[in-house]
Chains A and B, each alone.
Chain A
Amino acid sequence: MTAPRSLFAALSAALLTWTTGASARPIDAAHSQIGFRFTQMNVGVDGAFHKFSGDIDFDPAHPDRGHITLTIDLHGIDGGSDDANGLVQDKDWFDVAHFPSASFVSSSVKTDGPGRYMAAGTLTIKGTSRPVSVPFTARPEGRVLQLQGSLPVQRLQYKIGVGDWADVGTVADQVSVTFRIAVPQ
């Protein structure tokens, strides 16, 4: 009984892998970084998301079969200073009590020049979902595939920094989100 059953399981797994191209792999969050740069009165300030997870199924040889899911736990946000961290989780900013995470889920991935790719999908922050296209590069490093890129985000489209903070003369609307994601192969 045992042998046929495990054979069946192995066959099913093989079939699943074959039909979906590859299986999604959890990212190596410890060796990945997601940061952001915002601008206040023309002063660029760097912040970071320290807690995130994701599953990525991406083969540079077949980018169109790729699928990317990233989830950021906003409790791990670093606004760049103690002052900023004192309020970045508040209602006017990320309202982490009501919206504890942000996510990106791809709907399609395609080639965008040599070594360059574009993941179209949905970015959800603070309850607002918007379609975005994320350009990235993929580079193998040993047994890890490094996905790297950046995405400009208009913070007010997601109601990040409302009330007094909606004044873009102090904190600019555009925030550049940068990422380097390690996907073990």
Chain B
Amino acid sequence: MSRYTLPARALHWLTAIAILGALAIAVWIDGMTLSPAKIRLINYHKWLGLTVLWLWVLRVLWRAGHRPPPDVPMPAWQARAAHAAHWALYALMLLVPVLGWLTSSASGFPLVYLGLFHLPDLLAKDKELAHQLKEIHGFFAWTLIGIAALHAAAAFKHHFIDRDGLLRRML
């Protein structure tokens, strides 16, 4: 059975790790009072989000020139659902980090990736707007996590129940 190309697999798993890391930190620091540790974690969260963003760019460029392996046999509705989920994940993996960047800009915190690279502010400081953007960022982040969870559950179903080798294409 044909697999995804090595770069496609690497980009997939690096993105998954970055998203899960950003999620873990976001959940951990929610409601935490400000401390040096919280400041560090907030910055790590932003760095992971920016990592998702540049991985997204590489991934889309790679995907444009390399077709994924054909679907394994499955009911048409499942194939349609899987492809719809992939499209939604691509859209959200772009949208959620960009919303995070907008939130950070509107909050008056410029992004400095890895503490080294100063990125431009997308918005002027605006507390009210920052609050709304944070809510929207969170909403779409949880939407992303929800769809990613379904995506993972479907992969496990193929692997452990259907035993059709689908998951191995990404390993």
Same complex for A and B? Answer yes
State A118–B37 Cα separation when bound (angstroms).
Answer: 39
Closest Cβ of chain A to B93, distance in Å, is 24
Check if B110 sits within 8 Å of A171, measured CB to CB: no
Check if B108 sits within 8 Å of A81, measured CB to CB: yes
A158-185: CB near B (< 8 Å → 1, else 0) gives 0000001101001100000000000000
Interface size on B, residues (CB 8 A): 19
Q: Is B5 an interface residue (CB 8 A)?
A: no
Q: Is A84 an interface residue (CB 8 A)?
A: yes
State A83–B38 Cα separation when bound (angstroms).
Answer: 10
Check if B33 sits within 8 Å of A164, measured CB to CB: no
Q: Which of B33, B40, B43, B108 contacts A80 (CB 8 A)?
A: B108
Instruction: Decide: A41 near B39, CB < 8 A? Known: A46-B108, A81-B108, A81-B109.
Output: yes
Q: Is B116 an interface residue (CB 8 A)?
A: yes
State A86–B43 Cα separation when bound (angstroms).
Answer: 19
- Interface of B, secondary structure class, is loop
Q: Is B120 an interface residue (CB 8 A)?
A: no
Check if A164 sits within 8 Å of B36, measured CB to CB: yes
Q: Which of B33-47 contact A (CB under 8 A)?
A: 33-40, 43
State A60–B15 Cα separation when bound (angstroms).
Answer: 61
Q: Which residues of B contact A10 (CB under 8 A)?
A: none
Q: In the complex, what residue of chain B is closest to A168 when comparing beta carbons?
A: B36
Q: Which of B90-115 contact A (CB under 8 A)?
A: 107-112, 115
Closest Cβ of chain A to B91, distance in Å, is 28
Instruction: Decide: A42 near B116, CB < 8 A? Known: A86-B34, A87-B34.
Output: yes
Check if B108 sits within 8 Å of A40, measured CB to CB: no
Closest Cβ of chain B to A48, distance in Å, is 11
Q: Which residues of B contact A82 (CB under 8 A)?
A: 127
Check if B108 sits within 8 Å of A41, measured CB to CB: no
Inter-chain CB contacts under 8 Å: number: 43
State A43–B40 Cα separation when bound (angstroms).
Answer: 11
Q: Which of B34, B36, B43, B125 contacts A43 (CB 8 A)?
A: B43
Q: Which of A41, A83, A84 contacts B40 (CB 8 A)?
A: A41
Q: Is A21 an interface residue (CB 8 A)?
A: no
Closest Cβ of chain A to B40, distance in Å, is 6
Interface residues on A, range: 10 to 19
Closest Cβ of chain B to A77, distance in Å, is 15
Check if B34 sits within 8 Å of A83, measured CB to CB: yes
Q: Is A45 an interface residue (CB 8 A)?
A: yes
Check if A44 sits within 8 Å of B33, measured CB to CB: no
State A165–B35 Cα separation when bound (angstroms).
Answer: 7
Q: Which of B114-133 contact A (CB under 8 A)?
A: 115-116, 125, 127
State A86–B109 Cα separation when bound (angstroms).
Answer: 17
Check if A170 sits within 8 Å of B39, measured CB to CB: yes
A68-111: CB near B (< 8 Å → 1, else 0) gives 00000000000011111011000000000000000000000000
B124-145: CB near A (< 8 Å → 1, else 0) gives 0101000000000000000000
Closest Cβ of chain B to A135, distance in Å, is 26
Check if B109 sits within 8 Å of A41, measured CB to CB: no
State A170–B40 Cα separation when bound (angstroms).
Answer: 7
Known: A81-B109, A170-B39. 6 other contacts (CB 8 A): A40-B39, A40-B43, A41-B39, A42-B116, A45-B108, A81-B108
A-side interface residues toward B, CB under 8 Å? 40-46, 80-84, 86-87, 164-165, 167, 170-171
